[in-house]
Amino acid sequence: MRESKKISLEDHMGFIKSLKTLNDRKYFALMKEEEILGSLNFVKDGKLFWGLYFKDEVNPMYKSLACYIFLNYIFSKFDEDLNSFIKKNNPQALSFNKNFGFSEYKSDEEYIYLKLSSKEWDEKKESKLLSPVKKYLSKTTYSIKE
Amino acid sequence: MKDKIEKIVIETLKELNEELEKDELENPTLKTRLYGGVGALDSLALVSFIADLEDRISDEFEKDLVLADEKAMSAKTSPFRSVESLVLYVESLLGV
């Protein structure tokens, strides 16, 4: 999260309404039945970025499968590198991104910057780490609603 | 039977570690911590491990298992916290 200042309810609601008409960014809620477990988004602001948020107690299975599906979704829409930036004090998030194939390309005082290409993602899906996930996903029922 | 389950769990971990390259998973034992706290696996690695393990257990014992059900994943004392707790959990699911 880059913003830490307070946002008014009015500004926030305006932002939510604007999302429906924007094609350069999409925000998805991860839902199981009627419960929201987290959110995933991409923003094309010059570079293409993704962002993730999950409740602490969420089943790791849902979190991992949702990210796998979301990366496939992003690379079906964009043929360019996907970027991510992680706070330096968040090693779990860094490891999580790297396990999906992201690699570091720079850092500053606060963040580590990573990227993943479509080709790298395709290769990563065949890895020892992700191929069981791919197989597991084939037995899972899910849908993406835009 | 328990020894066979332990062997499969450890072999599955070792193979996964060929990619993860974690020191603590080079020679896993019953005491090896897996998930949560100081566990060696993050959420994605856990999912990969469980998916692979389910296949191997099913092949070996000719019985379909779902290791990652809602109850197990959300339990306060997760069966995935260590190799030992996982072996006991698989044993209980197989009913042996």
The pTM assigned to this predicted structure is 0.83
Look at the alpha carbons of B67, B68, B69, B74 in this order and tell me if their dihedral is positive or negative.
positive
Look at A95 and B19 and tell me if their CB atoms are within 8 Å: no
Angstrom distance (rounded) from CA A129 to CA A133: 8
Task: Report which of residues A96 and B10 the model is more confident about.
Answer: B10
**Confidence tier at B8 by pLDDT (50, 70, 90):** very high
User: What ipTM was assigned to the predicted interfaces of this complex?
Assistant: 0.79
Task: Report which of residues A59 and A108 the model is more confident about.
Answer: A108
pLDDT at B72: 77
**Confidence tier at A16 by pLDDT (50, 70, 90):** low
pLDDT at B36: 82
Look at A132 and B73 and tell me if their CB atoms are within 8 Å: no
Q: Could you tell me if A32 lies within 8 Å of chain B, comparing CB atoms?
A: no
Mean pLDDT, chain A, as a whole number?
A: 88
pLDDT at B10: 97
pLDDT at B39: 86
pLDDT digits (tens, 9 = 90+) for B25-82: 999 999 999 988 878 898 899 999 999 999 999 999 998 888 877 777 766 678 999 9
* Residue A144: exposure state from Cβ atoms within 10 A (0-12, 13-18, ≥19): exposed
Mean pLDDT, chain B, as a whole number?
A: 89
Q: Could you tell me if A107 lies within 8 Å of chain B, comparing CB atoms?
A: no
DSSP A110-143: SEEEEEE-HHHHHHHTTSTTTHHHHHHHTT----
